[in-house]
Amino acid sequence: MDLQEFLAGQAPEYLGTGLAVSSVVLIARQNILGWPLGILWAMISAWLAFNRFHLVSDGILYVSYIPLQMYCWMVWLQHGSVEEMFRPTWLARRQQVILLFGLVLAVLLWGNGVKFFSQHLTWMTSPALLWRDATTTVLSYFAQLLQAKKRMENWVCWAIVNVLGIQIYLLQGSVIYAVQYGFFLILGFYGWWSWHRAEKEVMA
């Protein structure tokens, strides 16, 4: 099989799914190797989003995941992924309220921004499922940054992203990526449980 045949088939979707699931499992276990695998997954997913699914927000998200996951990787390297003072914690209630308002505002700005630019830039494809795609994109950014700092709220964000992701990719005809998000949803509950247990061990 040559490269063109590989890219034309479903192999990139299978490879991306395998890398993604492995990455989430490792991060849920606070294993730093999850980040480099996540970078490879982001590269494959960006290509698929732009060239196969025409999901503009998702494509931009996956491209930006590359430096973002490099940042997360560096943060964990700096602190030590299992360092006693770098354990999972929840934000304070006031910070959670600010986070919620920030999320809503960011989704509105992102969705309207994509809509505007897609109407005025010839190279941008018409966005599919604009608001659902915008919501998953913005939540993913916030979740990734929260995950870098080991904030428990990241798993709540990922749960919403994964539920929407299942629907989006089923509507776009990619059963493989829909199943991938189903795995993400299950792994997200595992990640929350694993981090919650680590948080309780520190408090004990």
* Per-domain boundaries in the chain: 11-81+93-203
Question: What separation in angstroms does the CA of 48 have from each of 12, 39, 40, 124?
Answer: 8, 14, 13, 15
**pLDDT (0 to 100) of residue 7:** 56
Read off the pTM.
Answer: 0.78
Higher pLDDT, 2 or 92: 92
* Residue 185: per-residue pLDDT: 94
Q: Which of 135, 118, 136 has the alpha carbon at shortest distance from 127?
A: 118
In the chain, % of residues over pLDDT 90: 43
Which residue has better confidence, 141 or 85? 141
Is pLDDT at 64 greater than 60 in this prediction? yes
**What mean pLDDT is reported for the chain?**
85
